[in-house]
Structure 1
Amino acid sequence: MSTNSDSLHKGKKLSSIECPSNLGLARSSYAREPAVRRLPEWLKKWGIHAAIHPDKTLRVETPEYETILDPVTNVLNADKIISYAIKQSEVMANEIDSESFQLILGGDCSLLIVSAISFKKKGSFGLFYLDGHTDYSTPAQSQSHAAAGMDLAIVCGIGHPKLTNIFNLRPYIEEKNVFCVCNREHDIEDEKLITNSQIHYVPLGRLRKTGIRQTIVQFIEMIETNKLDGFYIHFDVDVLNDNIMPAVDSRQADGLSFRELQQLLLPLLTSPKMYGMQITILDPDPDPGAQYTKAFISNISPLILKVKQ
């Protein structure tokens, strides 16, 4: 796949791909069913589509929510997650090319499985994993057994082949092609798996010490050095400061400001190597008046528009 990496950034067609899945989450303390499956409609209701004017909108409905622990993988709802990943990746893979940008609206973080499979079908890609958690754990480490807390590990090939080797594509993305950025939930035991991997691990404190600009430079250099076709972004909104985005399932103190988010995303979204971004975990239930959602849309929309310019 040619990406014209030495050319100037030029505008791309914008596709909005709706993936309303909550299958990767356990039940929350405040709801029988996690409301993140309403994320696409919620963002549309409060103006994201009116702001970014997607050239195309696609949607694949998710299976009905359950909390069934699969005895083979030891992961909740594994069979439905796999079924949905197969179905949605067949749609998404057909949309990926160097002239388009895929805005993938979740949903929970298990949608990374869909994205990673779709991009693997098209070539060799890097991943900028922007999340308040590493999500790099095994079922044995997880109390909830929810795939959204293991998605990065799964797409890098850690776990049962039933989940990690769909279409015989294991790993969906190589560890050395991943930057995991902004984790702020520190547990030495839980971090061992990622610190002992080939993933470029930049927790929030290190990001602020090293500098956003330098981190982006290192990521783009990695894309070039590894001769990748391009890259995509996983953006979990829980990476934002809890004061500006408390509408998530796993709240933590601190997090990125909108200014820091802009400094991170702008150079990535305007790179000719950029192919897509998925947005996950914004939960409408804790934000009934859309106070935080509207602020989020007003800050993220101008950045997304840059891919069309």
Structure 2
Amino acid sequence: MTATPPRFGLLGVPSSAAAHWPGQEKAPQALRRAGLTERLPVRDYGDLPKIRMRPEPDRHPQNLGLTIEVARAVAERTSHIVDDGLIPLVIGGDCTVELGVVSGALAAGTDPALVYVDGGVDLRTPETAPTGILDSMGAAHLLDLPGAAPELAGLGPRRPLLAPDAIVFLGYEQTDNAREREMFDSLSCVKLPATEVRGRAVAAAAQACRDLDGFLVHFDVDVIDFVDLPLADVPQYHGGLSFQEAMEVLAVLAAAPGFAGLTVTECNPDHGNESGGDLTRFVDGLTYALGAAA
């Protein structure tokens, strides 16, 4: 029997550099152990060095240097995957991994849009996030919004990495941060909150990518109700999407002609059940969703 040729280039980014606490750095290996590489047609590009979050006293934002280092390494590997003719499948790691993926795709000569499937909008900046945790600032730095850290927003081949009309937000809950909400309201882009996705996941996903010629997908596990699948680094109880709805969204996006890559972020294996069943279920869902693109 002829082996299925690889369609995806798998890159693990075991980093919690920009996170609230450690844990996400364990995700790439945990998802491999749960069978991800055996069940999808991938060429495995391995893992970047593991980086575990550690608070930096008297630094704001936290771990900026490490976050930039990780994003640059991700950009280099992503560019190689695209040059090799494969679809990047990047397993993080925290949400700032997406900065490296977009940067790498641009460096490889593509100009993708981004569908941001996330329980939050990640538009805080060092000026509006007292904690200084960069994990909640990923989209703000992709868009180079006022108050963004210039070293992080400017790490790629252009600045900003994305224009507002090149990003679609899907599955988010409304932010309780007034300045973040004001910034979000000012953006001219497609916005599909969780309230408009629940009960109509397939239609919402089709709407999200309908006008996009080429696009990456950012998938934060916290878009899934923690009660339904307890893997998110920052739990969202009785909010967001069901696990089934989230996988339906991914399946539609992965089957679209313009699908150009997926980044999975915010998976914390420590939050799943001890048997590993939650991770296996998640891999089942990813296999189902990406099977549409395989």
Count of residues paired in the alignment: 284
Aligned AA (2:232): V
Q: Is the 8 A contact 1:21 1:62 kept in 2?
A: yes
SS at 2:29's partner residue?
A: helix
| 1:115 corresponds to 2:101 | yes
Deviations 1:31-62, CA, capped at 9 Å, x for gaps: xxx11101011011122222224233332214
Structure 2 CA distance for partners of 1:300 and 1:88, relative to 1, 3 Å: closer
Q: Is the 8 A contact 1:16 1:54 kept in 2?
A: yes
From 205, 212, 215, give the equivalent of 1:223. Answer: 212
Tell which deviates more after alignment, 59-68 or 166-175.
59-68
Q: Is the 8 A contact 1:62 1:84 kept in 2?
A: no
Tell which deviates more after alignment, 176-185 or 135-144.
135-144
Deviations 1:2-56, CA, capped at 9 Å, x for gaps: xxxxxxxxx96211111111001123xxxxxx11101011011122222224233
- Which residue in 2 is equivalent to 1:142? 129
- Which residue in 2 is equivalent to 1:54? 42
Aligned AA (2:114): L
Structure 2 length as normaliser, TM-score?
Answer: 0.88
Deviations 1:245-292, CA, capped at 9 Å, x for gaps: 222222122222233123312221112211110111111112232232
Tell me, in whole angstroms, the C-alpha distance in 2 between the residues paired with 1:201 and 1:69. Answer: 37
Structure 2 CA distance for partners of 1:221 and 1:53, relative to 1, 3 Å: closer
Tell me, in whole angstroms, the C-alpha distance in 2 between the residues paired with 1:184 and 1:64. Answer: 28
- Which residue in 1 is equivalent to 2:18? 24
Deviation at 1:97, TM superposition (A): 5.0
From 249, 254, 268, give the equivalent of 1:269. Answer: 254
Deviation at 1:69, TM superposition (A): 6.3
Instruction: Please list every run of 5 or more consecutive structure 1 residues that lacks an aligned counterpart in the other structure.
Output: 1-10, 28-33, 225-229
Deviation at 1:299, TM superposition (A): 1.9
Tell me, in whole angstroms, the C-alpha distance in 2 between the residues paired with 1:216 and 1:64. Answer: 34
Map 1:1-309; keep pairs closer than 5 Å: 13-27=7-21, 34-63=22-51, 65-68=53-56, 74-96=60-82, 99-121=85-107, 122-158=109-145, 159-167=148-156, 169-187=158-176, 189=178, 190-208=180-198, 211-224=200-213, 230-252=214-236, 253-287=238-272, 288-308=274-294
Structure 2 CA distance for partners of 1:23 and 1:268, relative to 1, 3 Å: same
Deviations 1:109-163, CA, capped at 9 Å, x for gaps: 1111111211222221110100111111112221321111000111111212111
RMSD of the alignment, in Å? 2.2
SS at 2:42's partner residue?
A: coil
Q: Is the 8 A contact 2:17 2:66 kept in 1?
A: yes
Aligned AA (2:197): L
Instruction: Please list every run of 5 or more consecutive structure 2 residues that lacks an aligned counterpart in the other structure.
Output: none
Deviations 1:195-220, CA, capped at 9 Å, x for gaps: 111232221013348x4344334333
Structure 1 length as normaliser, TM-score?
Answer: 0.84
Structure 2 CA distance for partners of 1:57 and 1:306, relative to 1, 3 Å: farther
